[in-house]
Structure 1
Amino acid sequence: MSTVAPSWLLALHSTSDELGLGLAPLLSSSAPGTLDPPSPRITSHPLGRRLSNDLLACVEQLLPAHQWRELGRLAVATGPGGFTGTRLSVVFARTLAQQLALPLDGFSSFLLIAQRLRQRAEVGDQPFWLLQELPRRGIVAGCYAADEWALGGMAEREAPRLFGQLADLPPGVRLEARVDPAADVAQLLRLSGLAAAAESAAPWASVLPLYPTSPVGQP
């Protein structure tokens, strides 16, 4: 029986103080006549401000650099989240995708949370808002709802943006946008795997950090 080495999907999530990484075989590696694909590997690293120094080392712990040619697709959380952490992982993913000519999927960290809540049956079919308070700046919020036609079954009705205060939000269910790095990396792997199975184009140049406020000019 012929065997085919797996083509890997690498996911990065650093919108919080904890770096989440995931590595999973792409669906093509489980085609008939191939070996059973390995299980996904997910790691988390509470790096905080050490992310800029330790990001590469953490990725190499999961997949050494000499094996990066085995990658078939990349995925990254684009924010909202910490400005520096989000930017570092997005830039790293964009650079790797450009150098290796790989597709790169970018998904909002709020969308990943919404997907997780839906999978765990913590939300129903009705639209809901995810909120993240920024001290002295306002509230970042996005709206989500179950949608059988959307990738992964959850649609982003309104992308995360800044509101001055809670009273400025439209009415509806409101939930805290609480990152769970390992669980949200699992959602990254799932969504990117679905996009790969659907042969969706994913140009790296279109993936940019999502940060509703800029630190420039802020007090």
Structure 2
Amino acid sequence: MMAEPEATRYGLALHTTSPQFGLALSDGVGTPRSRVWDLGRELSVHMHRLLAEFLPPQTWQDLAFLAVANGPGSFTGTRIGVTAARVLAQQLDIPLFSLSALAAFLQMTVADAAPNELVAIQLPARRQQVFAAIYRRSSDGRTWQTWRTETAIAPEQWQQELAAIAPPIRLLEAPENLGDTVTGLLELARWEWAQGTRSHWSDAVPFYGQHPVET
């Protein structure tokens, strides 16, 4: 199979699950170019303008794939980001990798995990719960594989689950602001792309974990 032209190897990642808006762009060879903005509730007002300003000197036609954080986190931010990424991927007719914000955090912050090591992660949620998951470091040490699917859970129940795992595993808590982990998101998507995965935009759905309205 012939190698793809260099201009078509760029990947663009969007991270909107927290009060920050993160963008990262890379061709898989050089250092990724990234930027983070503290937008809070102004995400929908500024996102498209910031995207257009961030992309040059590359163009939309240079992109081979997109990646988006699909949650957990802010309901509104996650919905806006996933919707925008789906529209872009559909219009550009390129793959869209919809990936966990928790996995992106691990990719950026845990460099010392041994191959196949389990690491637990939690993120504060509403209604006295946490978003929680467990990931296994891949055997080649390059990515993370889901070992315990993300869920919203009471802290007491989560601690009981962790206590039942032997030997004990590390537990990390993700911060409120996750925009700067967009580079980790792009790394995970790049790994999937290199394996030949071509995720369709229609498969990208948000993970909210909780209903947005109190009942």
Q: Secondary structure at the match of 1:69?
A: helix
Q: Given residue 104 of structure 2, which amino acid in structure 1 is its aligned partner?
A: L
Corresponding position: 1:153 with 2:158: no
Structure 1 residue 158, shift from structure 2 partner: 1.2
Alignment of 1:127-166 (within 5 A): 127-148=118-139, 152-166=142-156
- Give the gaps of 5 or more residues in structure 1: 28-36
The whole-number CA distance in structure 1 between the counterparts of 2:125 and 2:50 is 28
User: What is the one-letter code of the residue matched to 1:133?
Assistant: P
Structure 1 67/153 Cα, relative in aligned 2: closer, same or farther at 3 Å?
closer
- Provide the C-alpha distance between the structure 1 equivalents of 2:37 and 2:101, rounded to a whole number of angstroms: 17
Structure 2 residue 43 is matched with structure 1 residue 45 = no
Q: Residue 181 of structure 1 corresponds to which residue in structure 2?
A: 179
User: What is the CA-CA distance between 1:149 and the residue it aligns to?
Assistant: 6.0
Q: Which runs of 5+ in 2 are unaligned?
A: none
Give the 4+ runs in structure 1 shifted more than 3 A: 123-126
**In the aligned structure 2, how far is the partner of 1:131 from the partner of 1:159?**
12
Answer yes or no: is the 8 Å Cα contact 1:148–1:154 preserved in 2: no
Tell me how many residue pairs correspond in the alignment.
201
Distance of 2:80 and 2:34 partners within structure 1 = 19
1:71 deviates by 1.6
Which residue is equivalent to 2:196?
199
TM normalised by structure 1 equals: 0.82
Q: Distance in 1 between matches of 2:13 and 2:61?
A: 15
TM-score, normalised on structure 2? 0.84
Note closer, same or farther for the CA distance 1:38–1:129 as it changes in structure 2 (3 Å cut): closer
Alpha-carbon distance change, 94 to 166 in structure 1, aligned in 2, over 3 angstroms: same
